[in-house]
Amino acid sequence: MPADIPVASTGTPSGVPARRGIPGSVATIALLLPSYAWLLLAVFLPLCTMFVFSFMNATPMGKTPIVFTLKHYQAFYTQPYLVKIAWDSLLMGFWATLSCAILGFFAALALARATTGRVRETLLILILLPFWTNGLVRVFSWTMVLREGGFLDMLLHSVLPDAGSIGFLYTRPAIVLGLVHGYLPYMILTCYIALVTIDDSILEAAESLGARWWTILGKILVPLALPGLTTGAVLTFVPVIGAFMEPRILGGRVGVTMGTVIEDQFTQAFNWPLGAALSFTMLAVVLAIFATFSGVLRRNSGAAA
Amino acid sequence: MIKTTRRQTLGLMGAGALAASPLSFGASTARAATKITVLNWQGYGTDEKWALEKFKAKTGIEVVHDYFSSEPEMLTKLRTNPGAYDVVLINSARTQQAANEGLIVPVDFAGVPNSANLSPELKDHANLKFGGKTFGVAWVWGITSLAIREGDKKPESYAALADPAFKGKVALFDDAVTGVAIGALLSGQDMNNPSDLKAVGDKLKGFKDNVKLLWSSEDQWNKSFAAKEFDLSVYWSGAAVRSKRNSKLPVEFVVPKEGGIGWLDNLCVPASAPNAKAALDFINYMIDPDFYFEWATKVGAPASASAAAMEKLPADDLNRVIHKQAYLKTMTIQSALPDDRREAFNNLWQEVKASYAG
């Protein structure tokens, strides 16, 4: 799902003129078909399978007779501690997305406004570079930085030898830090695409009319970059809610999230139906959140226009 | 998960397997070319090249292998390929299921003379019995119990996990069955079928202030222990041997008074085995102290079920020091879990973990 958004924003060649006699609509369909067929096969079918699984009493691999049941959807009711875990996961997703949005917006602003040509290209590559290394490696390297007596402490003690430890491995902030590191590039790229299209003359006009930098930021840059921020927030929030690697490695005892609970159902407990039911419940919650916010956003952008 | 990690490690060590020095065998009882097929995890003892060459020189029996990567896969292979296998490795928690389905036959111990050396607690364990008969030859075993930093006071009970002296210095194994087992042993219940799950949960939740992290791989354990993140942990006996021997970590393995959480792997003969006699010869060789000595000292192995084999190891061998014969008396071996009980264990463990996070 996240993959198709940048594709759509770069524009599908639906307006290609049909010079050789092929009708435009046929060309459009022919060009769209492969990606939609692939999405159907790779996203929709597995999702449907999991949806069916979520109503079964046991994982359909073995000798247990399969009976259809709704009991897994009552998990939040019969196991009330799950509600707390879900709430914590949503909060964590909120903090991670907010941090990404603030850091990502300003990084993108610097890239789009203060750099040109080669420097800009190099900086963009440097932002993408962490994406080329394995996520697990990145998370594990954070454990070396954050643990007591890790690099962070070494750095502090080289300045203040008597200071205590500031290592915060195995805490919620450590998880959020790992998640922000992992998903920040999405936010920078989407904000960058939105910011780079803003016409310089608009900003010049604002400046010549005496607008201060915060007015330009609040009245021009943020509203015009809002589509990028929203896309970035969606691309960050959804995977962060389901993340299990970062909480598990950086969270220690507090690293229990919906992601780890669901992963446990698939890998340890071999209870795929419960895992699937929990996933779909979370999906519903996330969609409800987006539905609420998209209404708010649309009203705001409507007022601006 | 435990099994895979353990075996993968063994497999890695086995990759560097070496040719053993030739030992003298008695009169070679070479028979006409017999071939048997063994079904096991890859790199788990039975497929050591040097051992198979020696066995062939001694008996004339050629051994080939087929592998499985999960226990359900092993059962499926037995069910769907009758006549294909002569020896199969089965975890004792699955032996009764296999016997009940008629996949394996009772062992004729007359054909396995080395079985006289097997520790009786393992040889006659209830898990291997079905309908009054023994269906497997106990082969190797291990314990999950406590590991503590050298120099700290050795815990006498699992209650140490809740001792304020270890505040923020405890690591638990992130596994529902192991977690519930510890809670059950601590509340005086049968770990394979605790009647009061709430008491189990309360005991486990009592560790909250002490728990620093939940580990899920041996590598993670070693790194965190080396970084002094915890001093007391639930750990595997075999992994303790490796942490001490290979990573030189100052760790001591302790089995408290409640006893350890044990596992036992046994070798069985399928009901459809084409060469049951040769299969027993091979099993006999697998519990031979000479074979075990080579395997344990040159490649690395879990503890042998054969008391004689363990005694053959040097007195200071870590494998022997950690797997004390006395532990067999107090150890509870994991049994098969029905699906509903497994689900209840998993849900309880999630609840306990949520309480740690809260």
Residue B22 has pLDDT above 60, yes or no: no
Q: How many residues does chain A have?
A: 305
Q: What are A82-88's contacts with CB under 8 Å, separation 24+? A: A82/A261, A82/A278, A82/B350, A82/B354, A84/B354, A84/B358, A85/A256, A85/A257, A85/A258, A85/A261, A85/B354, A85/B357, A86/A258, A86/A282, A86/A285, A88/A256, A88/A257, A88/B357
pLDDT at A301: 59
Residue A235 lies in a domain: yes
Residue B6 has pLDDT above 60, yes or no: no
Rounded mean pLDDT of A213-241?
Answer: 93
Residue B99 lies in a domain: yes
B352 and B230 within one domain: yes
Contact predicate B266/B130, CB 8 Å: no
Residue B9 backbone dihedrals phi, psi, to 5 degrees: -60, -45
Q: How confident is the model at residue B85 (pLDDT cuts 50, 70, 90)?
A: very high
Q: How many residues does chain B have?
A: 358
Residue A86 has pLDDT above 50, yes or no: yes
Residue A16 has pLDDT above 60, yes or no: no
Q: Which of A252, A254, A271 sits opposite B346 (nearest CB)?
A: A271
pLDDT at A300: 62
* A173: closest CA of chain B, how far (Å): 13
pLDDT at A165: 86
B292 and B176 within one domain: no
Q: Which of A164-168, B71-75, B282-286 ranks highest by mean pLDDT?
A: B282-286
Whole-number average pLDDT of chain B:
90
Pairing of strands B34-40, B87-91: parallel
Secondary structure class of B334 (helix, strand, coil)? coil
Quote the CA–CA distance of B132 and A56 in Å, as a whole number.
37
B177 and B95 within one domain: no
A156 and A24 within one domain: no
Q: How confident is the model at residue A8 (pLDDT cuts 50, 70, 90)?
A: very low
Quote the CA–CA distance of B259 and B65 in Å, as a whole number.
36
Q: Which of A61, A253, A264 sits opposite B357 (nearest CB)?
A: A253
| Contact pairs from chain A to chain B, CB under 8 Å | 71
pLDDT at A19: 56
Residue B25 lies in a domain: yes
Q: Say which residues have a Cβ less than 8 Å from residue B223's Cβ, sequence separation at least 6.
A: A143
Residue A65 lies in a domain: no
CB-based contact B350 A149, cutoff 8 Å: no
The string of pLDDT tens digits covering residues A30-80 is 999 999 999 999 999 999 999 999 999 888 766 678 889 999 999 999 999
A108 and A29 within one domain: no
pLDDT at B73: 86
A106 and A29 within one domain: no
A87 and A44 within one domain: no
B343 and B252 within one domain: yes
Residue of B nearest to A254 (CA): B357
pLDDT at A132: 84
The string of pLDDT tens digits covering residues B305-315 is 999 999 999 99
Q: Which residue has the higher pLDDT, B12 or B352?
A: B352
Residue B258 has pLDDT above 90, yes or no: yes
Number of domains comprising chain B: 2
Residue B18 has pLDDT above 70, yes or no: no
- For residue A176, give the CATH number of its domain: 1.10.3720.10
B195 and B61 within one domain: no
Q: How confident is the model at residue B35 (pLDDT cuts 50, 70, 90)?
A: very high
* A105: closest CA of chain B, how far (Å): 32
A148 and A254 within one domain: yes
* B161: closest CA of chain A, how far (Å): 14
The string of pLDDT tens digits covering residues B162-192 is 999 999 999 999 999 999 999 999 999 999 9
pLDDT at B28: 42
Number of domains comprising chain A: 2
The string of pLDDT tens digits covering residues A257-301 is 999 999 999 888 888 899 999 999 999 999 999 988 887 777 665
B235 and B128 within one domain: no
pLDDT at A58: 83
What is the DSSP annotation of A96-121?
HHHHHHHHHHHHHHHHHHH--HHHHH
pLDDT at A63: 66
B233 and B345 within one domain: yes
CB-based contact A148 B229, cutoff 8 Å: yes
B188 and B100 within one domain: no
Of B144, B147, B142, residue with least CA distance to B303: B142
A85 to chain B: which residues are within 8 Å by CB? 354, 357
Residue B19 has pLDDT above 80, yes or no: no
B127 and B18 within one domain: yes
pLDDT at A233: 94
Q: Which of A147, A149, A256 sits opposite B357 (nearest CB)?
A: A256
Residue B207 has pLDDT above 50, yes or no: yes
CB-based contact B346 A265, cutoff 8 Å: yes
Quote the CA–CA distance of A51 and A144 in Å, as a whole number.
40
Give the tokens for residue B63.
């051994």
Quote the CA–CA distance of A10 and B341 in Å, as a whole number.
53
The DSSP call for residue B332 is: E
Residue A215 lies in a domain: yes
Look up the domain containing A212 and give its range: 72-304
Residue B251 has pLDDT above 90, yes or no: yes
Helix residue ranges, H only, A160-221? 172-196, 200-208, 213-216
B215 and B342 within one domain: yes
- For residue B82, give the CATH number of its domain: 3.40.190.10
A150 and A24 within one domain: no
Look up the domain containing B122 and give its range: 2-140+264-322
Specify the range with the lowest mean pLDDT, choosing from A17-31, A135-149, B70-84, B94-108.
Answer: A17-31
CB-based contact B213 A170, cutoff 8 Å: yes
Give the tokens for residue B128.
């291997």
Residue B328 lies in a domain: no
* A81: closest CA of chain B, how far (Å): 6
B160 and B203 within one domain: yes
Specify the range with the lowest mean pLDDT, choosing from A115-129, B103-117, B246-260.
Answer: A115-129
A136 and A37 within one domain: no
Beta bridge partners of A68: A56
The string of pLDDT tens digits covering residues B285-323 is 999 999 999 999 988 899 999 999 999 999 999 999 999
ipTM: 0.78
Q: Which residue has the higher pLDDT, A144 or A268?
A: A144
B337 and B203 within one domain: yes
Give the tokens for residue A198.
């803003």
The string of pLDDT tens digits covering residues B209-238 is 999 999 988 998 999 999 999 999 999 999
Beta bridge partners of B142: B263
Q: Say which residues have a Cβ less than 8 Å from residue B161's Cβ, sequence separation at least 6.
A: B146, B155, B170, B172, B182, B207, B210, B232, B234
Rounded mean pLDDT of A108-133?
Answer: 87
Whole-number average pLDDT of chain A:
87
Residue A140 lies in a domain: yes
Mutate which of B166, B204, B213 to disrupt the A interface (most A C-beta within 10 Å)?
B213
Q: Which of A149, A255, A261 sits opposite B227 (nearest CB)?
A: A149
pLDDT at B310: 95
Of B305, B284, B260, residue with least CA distance to B138: B305
Pairing of strands B261-268, B87-91: antiparallel
A79 to chain B: which residues are within 8 Å by CB? 347, 350-351
**What is the distance of C-alpha B75 from the center of its chain?**
18
